[in-house]
A and B are shown apart, each in its own frame.
Chain A
């Protein structure tokens, strides 16, 4: 049992967390610029920046490749057919699970919403799918493991799935899910057989997605790592503790409300989450921040606005935010209770 823990810790810290890389960069800076500079604020900032940027870059490329390969088995057209076979809470849960593995870019979210609705999928299932998509990510699971360890990473994913399932169910059961624009219903549902892909085609697809995602997310990572570096080395711990620390009962609320209007890819939020956590911010507060930033984005809300009526759009935003806040307080409490 002990050996297993050693192995998991090794994977968490050295393979995913790449702590050895931090050491290497630190030594390199010492050699190039001398001990005083390397240990000073600027030196440490630069060290963090280089180490975190490379680490996230490598993790991103490896993760996106593997995930895209897996996702090539779950095109939206197939997901729609699978979900059509289930009813009730089972369908919601499946919708949330498939939401994490079905790939689609933001411009496909409208056709997917329309397609699901016309196929007769309940609003609950469709929304469970839409909520879990940005919220729960296989990539997030791996990246969170690198910072917080596997138990917390799994807890994050489970929490996200729960928000998606409950959120979708609430939207449907309260009848809010019926506030969909009329044109969405006007049309038939077409099922197609998704083309079977060869291994080479899957690899090509995964390669393409890796490159495209890296390019798209590059600046989010730079900014995220920059802010993380700032928090690590420049902002006093006491400031952060006052606003986001465990002694501030509003920390989760602040983190959620502050994070919601911003959007960043999860890879960009990680260095910030890392830095905040290191400065003693509660686990739940950090998670709430990450979830708020990655789930609600202006482009996706604009898209959603075209297919649902205002009432439902607001309901969607409120349900997701409340879910995040509840999870945030829950994890903060669990952290205090268990440590």
Chain B
């Protein structure tokens, strides 16, 4: 009976969780909230350095194993932070691009669609890269190179700039 009660309580929580998961993202309310000020600067070069295999090899060869593991954990934690930040930026950019995608101007709409594409792909890569980095934190000797995330972020940033040129509607690139 206890398990039945637990199942019943969990099941009754499902509609509340659904509402919580969709909160603030139901059209048109979602489009009415520009959030470009939430974008945080991401240092792409620093991130590339953190996940550079040559840098990793250099540290491995020149540091005692225990120091290397400690250093590598710190580097990977920092890389997770960078990816998380880029991932959050992608969410904000996606939000802005969704609005621009509805623009009557074909060029703006097309650029916005490409930005949506990049932002979604970045979040997908981040979803795959972050667990790999955490695995690297657990096993610091393991190589982790989520370079595709960096490439995708760079591509997305370029598209934001192009979007900004066509439609001066956001302050996105200010932070990029």
Q: Do A and B originate from a single complex?
A: no
Which residues of A are at the interface with B, using a C-beta cutoff of 8 A?
none
